[in-house]
Amino acid sequence: MIQGVRAQTVAFIPLEAVTSLLQAGLWATSGARSNQSELKLIGGSSQRFVVRLGSIRTAGKTTVCAVQLETVEEKFQPVLRATLEFTAATAKNRTQIRLEGSAAMRLGDGPHAVPTDEIRRMGNDYARRVLDEVAARIEKQAGKRAVTGSLATVR
């Protein structure tokens, strides 16, 4: 794994709402909520991936969880392994989301050796797309929650 994969963004909802959404699950699967989904990443190719969120921890004004990105063909063989850190932003009702982790050497698989910097660049691209997907999902679920008034009815 190549270290140094990073991305960050802001979600327009308070940290407390983010934490409860993560604990409830961001994706609907078989009628239940889950923190794992097979999907096509925002802005990416037609390749499908499995995104897994896990081990959610909260301390003070920070929530942290692990994230793993895998190809559908090679489940449990991550191409990206990282930590998502959610912190309350200085602006009211906003949460800063930061992703830091590593990318698999096999991102550069091909007929020729790929330099480490190129693998890191590819990893950062995947990190940005995972982060965009998680932020969009959080904001979408928060919007549904506001409309319905309950997480139980969000699908």
* DSSP string for the chain: -EEEEEEEEEESS-HHHHHHHHHH-SEEETTEEESEEEEEPTT--S-EEEEEEEEEEEETTEEEEEEEEEESTTTTSEEEEEEEEEEE-SSTT-EEEEEEEEE-GGGG-SSS---HHHHHHHHHHHHHHHHHHHHHHHHHHHHHHHHHS-STT--
Give the rounded percent of residues in the chain with a pLDDT score beyond 90.
Answer: 20
Looking at residue 148, its pLDDT comes to 45
Tell me the pTM. 0.80
Closest CA to 2 of 113, 101, 147, 78: 101
Predicted local confidence at residue 44, as pLDDT: 59
What pLDDT is stored for residue 23 in this prediction?
81
**Domain residue extents for the chain:** 2-147
Tens digits of per-residue pLDDT, 105-140?
877 666 567 788 888 888 898 899 888 888 888 888
Yes or no: is domain 2-147 CATH 3.30.70?
A: no
